[in-house]
């Protein structure tokens, strides 16, 4: 009798903890190929290598996808495509080979999927932790706002520095000017982003040229962009500034001279807001590139912490903190560090979340928001953002307005009840409704201590035809005129008629002293304008090299009706006043 041996149950061998030696070379090749592809993706995607940037997470995620594709191709699972030479398995070893290739890919798949899941968890957790729902108090503190006094903070208007045109009109003037230049118009066009700055104490908009298309870039790239435009917002004059050496770094460049790519290669970890074009007091072109940081959690509380100044010709970069930009006199020419949209968002956080997030939704006690638009005001050689503030119920009136310095973020609010900007626009358009004019977004001015909306009235061709002034507190007080001088005089007459302002002589009879010595000015007439005010013909005379207009009644001095530009005259007046100066006498100047 033969003894049968019991069947031996063979255990499946455990997978080794360490990877087979031949896998390491494949993994290394996978990594190298992924890095090469990743470099190409980085060159075009240009993400900030920064955990506060959502683009960074998308970039790392794209690298993971690239690696998986490469790993799959470089495994034996894809017959004949592997990057490494392998011996062809015989039929006996075929199943073992397939199992080995599957294990090789599965190991990498598990690791990469783990990285992707980690990225998603961090991004989701960061978004939740940065949410205004949980951090409303922090969002409320993004901007500090002080109570200001309008009469002292905003100087009474000087009409020689009041912008007469808006952005759309500036674009139209710029395109028309470039069309006059035969050597440029066929190769270049005007960049659509006009930056409003103060240049030599004058409000202007500046913009560089751009290449008309990629062919024109290829032809002209060696010399760069030859000029930039300055549009004077007061005189409406357009100046094309030709450069000795062209602009070689701009947003319309390709490859390494593209401004965004140039910034990323020099500052790989910085996040940037939209760069703005500016010029210094010598007319040298620069790009001001605000550096963005997330100050609340991982992704919330967007704020500006500094700016990179890029020489548009040479590409030289210099970084400055916001403190340095605010305090260094040599950088005072920089006007646009904080974008208008960012400042509006921060003030909305300030107005909405003073009593927490839930109050902004339900009780809404004390909740305030900015109005639908904004404009810019030139004060003390800086550019200020202006916007009205209204209650969250969105009525047709403002309860205050805000001025924010776009270089320093100094913010002041002024408590005043009045019409919203769009209500004032409708009021101005109603006065000239027979012409069908459209009013520009209002500019805030101080006229005789009165907050006043000033706007241009344009026809369907976008050309300025008249001007309008609307009292903020009493928006039924509307004055129009074909010239600024006429509009101003009509507005002053309405203010006197309503008893809002009173002439100095009426306030104090002693102020009208017939023995008071008169001041005098002599010069050649450069401009004469007329208007009928209260039934009287008024003449407004401007002399060469003198920014002021002098007003005088034709009834008192008939000689005004026969004066012409180029005539030499002597004008006498009692005192300097902002804007238009009332004249006491006028006579022809004695010819020597």
pLDDT in tens, 510-525: 344 445 678 889 999 9
Q: What is the pLDDT of residue 6?
A: 53
Q: Which is it for strands 368-370 and 317-321: parallel, antiparallel or unpaired?
A: unpaired
Flag the least confident range among 5-14, 195-204, 257-266, 347-356.
Answer: 5-14
Instruction: Look at residue 119 and tell me whether its pLDDT is greater than 60.
Output: yes
Q: Note the pTM of the prediction, 2 decimals.
A: 0.80
Burial of 524 per CB tally in 10 Å (0-12, 13-18, 19+): middle
277: enclosing H helix or E strand: strand 276-279
Q: Is 111 left (phi over 0), alpha (psi -120 to 50) or beta?
A: alpha
Share of the chain above pLDDT 90, in %: 58
Q: What is the pLDDT of residue 510?
A: 38
Q: Which is it for strands 580-588 and 549-553: parallel, antiparallel or unpaired?
A: parallel
Neighbour tally for 19: CB within 10 Å: 14
Instruction: Look at residue 533 and tell me whether its pLDDT is greater than 70.
Output: no
Q: For residue 110, how many C-alpha atoms fall within 13 Å in the half-sphere facing its CB?
A: 5
Could you report the per-residue pLDDT of 268-285, keeping only the tens digit for each?
Answer: 999 999 999 999 999 999
Q: What is the pLDDT of residue 79?
A: 46
> Looking at per-residue confidence, does 463 or 157 come out higher?
463
Average of per-residue pLDDT across 106-126: 92
Token couple for 82: 């592997």
Q: What is the pLDDT of residue 25?
A: 84
Q: What is the pLDDT of residue 483?
A: 83
Average of per-residue pLDDT across 164-179: 90
| CA quadruple 569, 551, 549, 429: dihedral sign | negative
d(CA 242, CA 2): 110
**pLDDT tier for residue 506 given thresholds of 50, 70 and 90:** very low
Closest CA to 538 of 547, 549, 548: 549
């Amino acid at each position: 009798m033969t003894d049968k041996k019991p069947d031996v149950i063979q255990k499946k061998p455990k997978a080794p903890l360490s990877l087979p030696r031949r896998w390491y070379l494949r993994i290394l090749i996978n990594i190298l190929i992924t890095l090469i592809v990743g470099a190409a993706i980085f060159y075009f995607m240009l993400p900030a290598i920064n955990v506060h940037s959502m683009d960074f997470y998308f970039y790392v995620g794209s690298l993971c996808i690239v690696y998986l594709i490469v790993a799959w191709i470089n495994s034996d699972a894809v017959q004949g495509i592997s990057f490494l030479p392998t011996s062809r398995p015989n039929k006996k070893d075929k199943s073992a080979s397939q199992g080995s290739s599957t294990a090789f890919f599965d190991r990498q798949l598990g690791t990469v999927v783990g990285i992707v899941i980690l990225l998603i968890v961090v991004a989701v957790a960061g978004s939740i932790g940065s949410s205004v729902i949980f951090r409303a108090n922090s969002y409320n503190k993004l901007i500090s706002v002080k109570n200001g006094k309008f009469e002292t903070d905003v100087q009474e208007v000087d009409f020689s520095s009041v912008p007469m045109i808006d952005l759309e009109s500036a674009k139209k003037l710029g395109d028309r000017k470039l069309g006059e230049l035969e050597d440029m118009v066929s190769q270049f066009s005007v960049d659509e982003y006009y930056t409003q700055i103060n240049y030599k104490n004058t409000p202007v908009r500046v913009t560089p040229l751009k290449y008309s298309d990629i062919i024109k870039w290829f032809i002209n790239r060696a010399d760069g962009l030859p000029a930039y435009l300055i549009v004077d917002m007061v005189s409406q004059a357009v100046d094309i500034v030709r450069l000795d050496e062209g602009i070689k770094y701009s947003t319309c460049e390709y490859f390494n001279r593209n401004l965004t790519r140039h910034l990323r290669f020099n500052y790989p970890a910085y996040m940037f807001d939209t760069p703005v074009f500016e010029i210094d007091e010598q007319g040298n072109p620069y790009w001001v590139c605000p550096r963005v940081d997330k100050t609340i959690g991982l992704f919330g509380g967007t704020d500006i912490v500094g700016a990179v100044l890029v020489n548009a010709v040479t590409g030289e970069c210099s970084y400055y903190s916001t403190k340095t930009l605010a305090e260094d006199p040599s950088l005072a020419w920089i006007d646009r560090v904080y974008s208008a949209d960012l400042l509006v968002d921060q003030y909305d956080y300030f107005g909405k979340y003073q009593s927490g997030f839930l109050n902004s939704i339900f009780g809404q006690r004390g909740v305030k928001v900015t109005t639908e638009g904004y404009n810019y005001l030139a004060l003390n050689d800086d550019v200020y953002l202006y916007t009205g503030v209204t209650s969250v119920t969105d009525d047709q009136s403002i309860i205050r307005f805000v001025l924010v310095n776009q270089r320093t973020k100094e913010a002041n609010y002024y408590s005043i009840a009045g019409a919203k900007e769009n209500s004032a626009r409708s009021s101005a358009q109603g006065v000239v409704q027979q012409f069908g004019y459209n009013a520009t977004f209002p500019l805030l001015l101080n006229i005789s201590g009165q907050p006043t909306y000033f706007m241009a009235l344009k026809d369907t061709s976008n050309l300025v035809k008249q001007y309008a002034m609307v009292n903020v507190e009493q928006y039924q007080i509307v004055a129009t005129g074909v010239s600024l001088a006429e509009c101003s005089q009509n507005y002053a007459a309405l203010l006197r008629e309503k008893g809002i302002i009173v002439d100095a002589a009426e306030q104090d009879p002693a102020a009208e002293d017939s023995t008071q010595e008169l001041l005098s000015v002599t010069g050649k007439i450069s401009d004469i304008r007329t208007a009928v005010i209260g039934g009287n013909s008024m003449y407004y005379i401007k002399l060469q090299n003198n920014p002021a207009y002098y007003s005088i009644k034709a009834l008192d001095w008939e000689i005004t009706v026969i004066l012409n530009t180029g005539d030499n005259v002597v004008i006498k007046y009692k005192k300097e006043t902002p804007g238009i100066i009332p004249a006491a006498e006028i006579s022809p100047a004695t010819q020597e």
